[in-house]
Amino acid sequence: MSTTRTATAVSTARYRRARAFTGHYLEMVIAMVVGMIALGPVWSWVLERIGATELFSRPDLAAIVMATDMTIAMSAWMRFRGHGWAPITEMAAAMYLPFILLFVPLWAGLISAATLMVAGHLLMLLAMAGVMLLRVQEYTHAHHTHHVAQQA
């Protein structure tokens, strides 16, 4: 009976950690979407006012702006949820690096703007999961709002 209880407790703990990990991931993705929706029009308005709307016709600049919109919202959400600056910085890097790496084949004419956007987003999601796995403890426990994590 004790072995059964122990196995059940271990199974329950694994389930809770996996659920917390998945929940953290989904929260960040939702924050990123909110960032794109909320900040995208701001950029459009500013560029229209200064007469520089053609900048968004460049896929590399559009990708960086979109990554910035997502990163701002995701970073704010992570900080609000109590994450420290180190995990926030790592996650921000995971959001920019896939696009930056794809700029070389874009500029060389090897991939299209559409491929940049699709591949960049897919690689970003994978990079985010990878960063989370590097700090699995950070993302497998519940964070309390306004509780700043111990690491810098």
- What is the mean predicted confidence (pLDDT) over 112-139? 95
Count of Cβ atoms closer than 10 Å to residue 65 Cβ: 19
CB distance 56 to 118 below 8 Å: no
pLDDT at 148 > cutoff 60? no
pLDDT at 5: 66
29-39 confidence digits (pLDDT tens): 999 999 999 99
- What is the mean predicted confidence (pLDDT) over 7-22? 80
Q: One-letter amino acid identity for 47? A: L
SS3 content of the chain, % helix, strand, coil (to 5): 80, 0, 20
15-63 confidence digits (pLDDT tens): 888 898 999 999 999 999 999 999 989 988 988 898 888 888 899 999 9
65-114 confidence digits (pLDDT tens): 999 999 999 999 999 999 999 999 999 999 999 999 999 999 999 999 99
**Higher model confidence: residue 12 or residue 75?**
75
Place of tokens 């991931």: 25
CB distance 89 to 152 below 8 Å: no
pLDDT at 4: 65
Q: What is the pTM of this model?
A: 0.80
